[in-house]
């Protein structure tokens, strides 16, 4: 079965505390909402401490055209993507030796916060010396589910080509979608929550020679994956594309949807593979927000201790959309899980959709 050998990350250079973003939101939205102080409680109650952005705070004070936003997205996403790949393939945390990019057979590129044709991985391949025959698999529109979905697609690729090495590269610059003139509650909540981040995972087939350069005694092996779509739920989460850019769609019903809809699909998936929720030792969840984490606890019966790593990532990075679940996975890998522990990767995104994967921590032989 395919293994996750290494995970690298890159956090954009502008770090803002939640106090700083709260003051900015107060300044920007106070004339639009009579109850602004009550609404600003989402910044405090969300328990996010800091976030990283591709642009400084002053950038958000002005309006920007879609072209300005997208040109900046292409430039910075390409640069940051290169750095995340380097961090993944040169990681002294996970690898005994560096991996040459010419060892990579396919790149699965995930992003939903800008547009690029040719897609970003083609631009990155002009900077790093990949093989010209490296397969390019760009995925767009998956939002917060994108990281888990890309791991699933890498799993399938490595099942078909058992000696293959695949990079999963998630790049999201949510800050560049911010609409200064959008005075809706969805935009206010998004301002309290979303951030920028990049993550890269190396997934290798069971016959790949890269498995044996893994530095850790155990590594996560992907055993099974599943995608689930909730019909006619387009309005739950996503973008409205307007002349000036992307306007966030973010339903207040997401936590209740998780509580009512998630558990049967997770249980059926686990049961299909002779497992149950009580056997899950590592819950690699995309932390969409504090209420989403609480909904996971309620729906699946997990304890606050089970949610500690996703909560830590949310506190230190915010919701970075698709890369976030890979940040969570990286932390689980760093904490050296016990051999034969079972993990569950879960992320929810536009559609409304669920992506999940069963992983098992196995020793390197």
Catalytic residue list: 144
Nearest to 325 by CA among 280, 298, 361, 288: 288
CB atoms within 10 A of CB 179: 20
Token code pair at residue 283: 């819950």
Nearest to 29 by CA among 180, 239, 176: 180
Q: How far is CA 184 from the centre of its chain?
A: 25
Token pair 């699946």: residue: 300
Report the distance separating Cα 133 and Cα 325, nearest Å. 29
Report the distance separating Cα 274 and Cα 249, nearest Å. 37
CB-based burial label for 66 (10 Å; 0-12, 13-18, 19+): middle
Helix ranges, 103-173 (H): 120-125, 146-160
Token pair 């002009």: residue: 126
């Amino acid at each position: 079965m395919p293994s996750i050998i290494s995970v690298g990350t890159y956090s954009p250079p502008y770090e803002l505390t939640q106090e700083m973003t709260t003051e900015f939101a107060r300044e920007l939205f106070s004339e639009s909402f009579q109850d602004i102080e009550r609404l600003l409680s989402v910044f405090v109650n969300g328990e996010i401490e800091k976030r990283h952005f591709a642009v400084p705070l002053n950038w958000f004070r002005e309006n920007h055209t879609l072209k300005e936003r997208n040109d900046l997205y292409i430039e910075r996403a390409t640069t940051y993507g290169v750095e995340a790949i380097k961090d993944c393939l040169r990681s002294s945390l996970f690898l005994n030796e560096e991996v040459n990019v010419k060892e990579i057979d396919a790149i699965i590129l995930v992003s939903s916060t800008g547009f690029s044709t040719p897609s970003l991985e083609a631009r990155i391949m002009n900077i790093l010396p990949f093989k010209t025959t490296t397969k390019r698999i760009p995925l767009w529109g998956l939002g917060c589910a994108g990281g888990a979905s890309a791991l699933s697609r890498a799993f399938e690729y490595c099942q078909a080509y058992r000696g293959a090495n695949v990079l999963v590269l998630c790049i999201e610059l949510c800050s560049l979608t911010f609409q200064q003139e959008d005075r809706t509650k969805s935009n206010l909540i998004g301002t309290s929550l979303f951030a920028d981040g990049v993550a890269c995972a190396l997934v290798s087939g069971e016959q790949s020679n890269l498995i044996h350069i893994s530095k850790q005694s155990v590594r996560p092996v992907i055993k099974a994956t599943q995608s689930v779509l909730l019909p006619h739920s387009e309005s739950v989460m996503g973008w409205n594309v307007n002349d000036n850019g992307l306007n966030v769609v973010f339903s207040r019903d997401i936590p209740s949807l998780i509580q009512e809809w998630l558990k049967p699909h997770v249980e059926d998936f686990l049961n299909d593979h002779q497992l149950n929720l009580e056997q899950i030792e590592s819950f690699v969840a995309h932390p969409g927000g504090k209420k989403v984490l609480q909904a996971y606890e309620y729906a699946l019966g997990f304890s606050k201790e089970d949610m500690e790593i996703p909560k830590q990532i949310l506190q230190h990075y915010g919701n970075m959309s698709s890369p976030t679940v890979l940040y969570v996975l990286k932390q689980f890998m760093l904490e050296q899980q016990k051999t034969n522990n079972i993990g569950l990767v879960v992320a929810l995104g536009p559609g409304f959709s669920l992506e999940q994967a069963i992983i098992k921590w196995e020793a390197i032989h």
